[in-house]
Chain A
Amino acid sequence: MTFTWKIGGEAGFGIMTTGLVFSKIASRLGYKIFDFIEYPSLIRGGHNAYEVRISDEDVKAPAPFIDCLVCLNLDTLKKHQKRLQTSSLVIYDEEDFQAEGNFQKISVPYNKIIKKNQGPTVMKNTIALGASLALLGGDFEILEKIIEEQFKNKGEKIIDFNKKFAFDGYQHIIKNYPNQIKPILKKIKKEDQLVLSGNDAFSLASVIADCRMYVAYPMTPASSVLATLASWQEKTGMIVRHAEDEISVINTAIGSSFAGARSAVGTSGGGFALMVEAIALAGITETPLVIFLSQRPGPATGMPTWTEQGDLLFAINAGHGEFPKIVLAPGDAEEMIELTAKAYNLADIYQTPVIIMSDMHLSESHFSVSLDFINKFIANYSVDRGKTIKLEDLKNSNLPKKFYNLNQNSQFQNFLRYQITEDGISLRLLPGEEGYYYQANSYEHLENGHTTEEGDQRREQVNKRNRKIITYLKNHFQIPKVYGDLAKAEIIFVSWGSTKGAVIEAQKILAKSSKSTAFIHFNHLYPLAKEKINHLFLTNKKYVLVENNSWGQLGKLLMQEIGIEIKEKILKYDGRQITPEEIINSL
């Protein structure tokens, strides 16, 4: 079973909240959900829409048709009519407009109900939610409960007020459209699950990974991470700083990380551009840092509330000079949890910046994630701070014999923060430990941190930092996951990050018409281990690159790093996420 419900209306009419409540209702009943939003960069006016796909099996991409369209205005019908079928239900108020077309018309008197209950026009969404629930065969109690939770801080009066509108919408359907009711929202509860957006998943995983400092400047579509972590900070103890600009953001986090707190920053392309100089600072000072980069279409301000995968090559090349940097790009909420938590460990182990790439589609769409998955993940996750050590660890006999420069004239010794090692990683003593000192230096430096301009020492430090890349590729790089059988496949898709859901859905549809496909999904994007990936690219197969950008940036990266050219490309760059149908139709 799969069913798509969509609500649309003017910005400012509570479309986002209503959509999320619908997703949560479906999730509580046991269905898997996938939802996404469409909105302009405006607070009032303009068209907002929220689409929820529910299914009894895993779902991570939209369906081609809308089964129930809730119109809070005529615009909604006009904009989405092309995706209606004759069986589609369309909820609207005939007092607002006459719905014309070949679909099931369900008129709900929003305006009359609002007048009767003396409420503001914004209550249209609550009426529509009640009507939707009735039309899809759900019990009213589940909506009642959510309303109670939503408004529990505002008192009984507000709760009852909201319930009235929802109930009137619900009753209108029961009385007037009993034959149109479809048994969609019947309880099938199997396991507890959460409704998580990509940004929620990043936030949650940051807490799981014991991130103690998050610094950001608001920028769509990364802003909700700042709001979420800030709202939790008294509970979690994390310090969340909204700094004056992104340059301050990343430099604050470099300071807190230097002092020993796991630290992260979050932004989108423009803010990331401002951070680039300091990414190099983290690189040469070997300071751990997690950077959350949620892409939107650029260049410059671009299309702030839409989606694109246009910053891959920018991210991997961000920062002047040569230094190790790890770039990861999860494909869905579960991967966001896994890779975010891993990113904090990698940043500490390799003492270098790690970038987690998302985009508006992944950041703001919601996914069902089983609570069992999260609890198991938490139980199995351990914080690995790599070679970060405390004073008492210095007595450990496993340490190198010499870890400081002896200062004859003082009881304070210069710790060798940048000691040359085989794996490229040096011991990191946190500032404040008695008896030692060192500097983290943005200039090229000696093992003890002091500035140098000598050729040999420069080369030694460059080589040391570069060896971290080799160590990472050996110990932590993961080859792309392959969905399907490469040997049997007629077509092999190649993509990265958030396009995962659409490609897997396309594979399912193609399988129904006996087309066998495979899919190579990259989420450990940089650096790449050529010898570990080569075998995935067979000479006699048809490979198709799928990306949400106009350059095919993963294609360029694969060409550069492993010398493989994928000639067939399906690229989308109109600000909208590529859909399974678009992939199939482009073959």
Chain B
Amino acid sequence: MVSINDFNGYPPTWCPGCGNWAIGVAIKTALTQLNFSPSSIVAVFGIGCSGNMNDFLNAYAIHSLHGRAIPNAIGIKLANHNLRVLAIVGDGDCYGEGGNHFIHACRGNHDITVIVHDNRVYGLTTGQVAPTAQKGFQSKSTPAGIIEVPLDPLSLAIISGATFVSQVFAGETIQMIEIIKKAIQHQGFSLVNVLQPCVSFNKVNTYQYYKERIFKLDKNHNPKNKQQALMIASSILEEKFPLGIIYQSEELAYHQQLKQLESGQTLISRPRFNNFEAIFKNFI
């Protein structure tokens, strides 16, 4: 049996009170409860405080470049689709530097789970504004307040073709574990946007701030209804934060639509091609 201890790497170096602690525990708990082991998953980390989880979570992993975890994750999944692949990234990392990859990974419905630590600031570089920050947010890079409006990651994911779009709050651990489990089990692109206070560099979006503005989805919410999902997702722009699975649909994942993988064998395990005669014909 795999226990949560098997996933425990080096002691974390996050600030006391940081939401990352809860996210780290939730990820390990979800993996343990789903019976995964450090050998059966691959995690790809971006660069930032979230990415530093690389040393605290035992698993096959790439600690990648800033913004590039998603394409790494796609490559891993295509090469060996038997592996469960997680991209553990930050808001600036995934929605800023890697924004293009995020959109296109949604479009491809690649079977990866993207867990975004959304604290609305850049923590590791000591407090500049992130793409999810509220308009007017003052930071080291925007002393007069940010002019741009915040990016709405949930709506962006839904309209781009993601098939599992969810949001959780780092202060609600039990729901966070449940949603992460469902995201990992989902076939196709799954997004878990984690609202997370940064105790050191964000004095606005605190635990208290979120507690006053989060709301659980209505029991009658139908995650298959795209219009309804978009309506709920965009309430972020009014500083109201829905928690739960906002949108989910069943579509074939990218790798499931590749003829090359139809036999079920992975790309790395199939026999070597050797019918060269069939190729020579093109050149005679």
Chain A interface (Cβ within 8 Å of chain B)?
Answer: 24, 27-28, 192, 194-196, 200, 204, 207-208, 210, 212-213, 215, 232-239, 241, 243-245, 247-249, 251-261, 263, 277-278, 281, 285, 371, 374, 378, 383, 407, 409-412, 414, 430-443, 450-451
Contact = CB atoms under 8 A, between A and B. Distances in A.
Interface residues of B, number: 58
Nearest to A445: B63
Contacts of B101: 244, 247-248, 251
| Interface class of chain A by DSSP | mixed
28 contacts: A192-B284, A200-B282, A207-B273, A207-B276, A210-B272, A234-B260, A243-B104, A244-B103, A247-B101, A249-B71, A251-B64, A258-B79, A259-B42, A259-B79, A261-B79, A281-B68, A285-B62, A371-B280, A410-B38, A412-B6, A432-B40, A436-B39, A437-B59, A437-B60, A439-B59, A439-B62, A450-B9, A451-B63
B75 interface: yes
A260 B79 contact: yes
Given A212-B267, A244-B101, A248-B104, A439 B61 contact: yes
Interface centre among B74, B76, B275 (most CB of A within 10 A): B76
B54 interface: yes
Given A243-B104, A278-B68, A437-B38, A259 B276 contact: no
A208 B276 CA distance: 8
Nearest to B52: A451
A212 B80 CA distance: 11
Interface of B: 5-6, 8-10, 37-40, 42, 44, 47, 52, 54-55, 58-65, 68, 70-80, 82-83, 100-101, 103-104, 258-261, 267-268, 270, 272-273, 275-276, 278-280, 282-284
A281 B104 contact: no
Contacts of B47: 442
Nearest to A434: B39
Contact of A450 (B38, B55, B70, B273): B55
Contacts of A442: 47, 62-65
Contact of A441 (B6, B63, B71): B63
Contacts, number: 205
Given A252-B72, A253-B75, A434-B39, A194 B65 contact: no
Contacts of A281: 64-65, 68
A195 B64 CA distance: 42
A410 B58 contact: yes
Nearest to A235: B278
A383 B274 CA distance: 13
A165 B188 CA distance: 52
Contacts of B78: 213, 239, 241, 252, 255-256, 261
Contact of B268 (A196, A430, A434): A430
A237 B273 contact: yes
Contact of B279 (A207, A243, A451): A207
A-B pairs with lowest CB-CB distance, top 8? A255-B75, A251-B71, A431-B60, A259-B79, A256-B75, A439-B61, A255-B72, A194-B283
B280 A259 contact: no
Contact of A200 (B10, B59, B76, B283): B283
B65 A409 contact: no
B268 A259 contact: yes
Given A194-B280, A252-B75, A247 B62 contact: no
Contact of B284 (A27, A256, A431, A440): A27
A170 to B, nearest CB: 22
A261 B59 contact: no
A451 B63 CA distance: 9
A251 B68 contact: yes
A447 to B, nearest CB: 14
Given A432-B60, A441-B54, 11 more contacts: A208-B276, A251-B64, A251-B71, A255-B72, A255-B79, A258-B72, A259-B75, A432-B80, A437-B58, A440-B61, A443-B63
B268 to A, nearest CB: 4
A258 B76 contact: yes
Interface centre among B76, B268, B283 (most CB of A within 10 A): B283
A234 B38 CA distance: 33
A491 to B, nearest CB: 36
Nearest to B103: A244
Nearest to A200: B283
Contacts of B283: 194-196, 200, 204
Nearest to B69: A251
Contacts of A251: 64-65, 68, 71-72, 75, 101
A441 to B, nearest CB: 5
A239 B258 contact: yes
A247 B68 contact: yes
B79 to A, nearest CB: 4
Contacts of A432: 39-40, 42, 60, 80, 82-83
Given A252-B72, A263-B75, A431 B54 contact: no
B80 A412 contact: no
Contacts of B267: 212-213, 237, 239, 256, 261
Contact of B260 (A215, A233, A409): A233
B62 A258 contact: yes
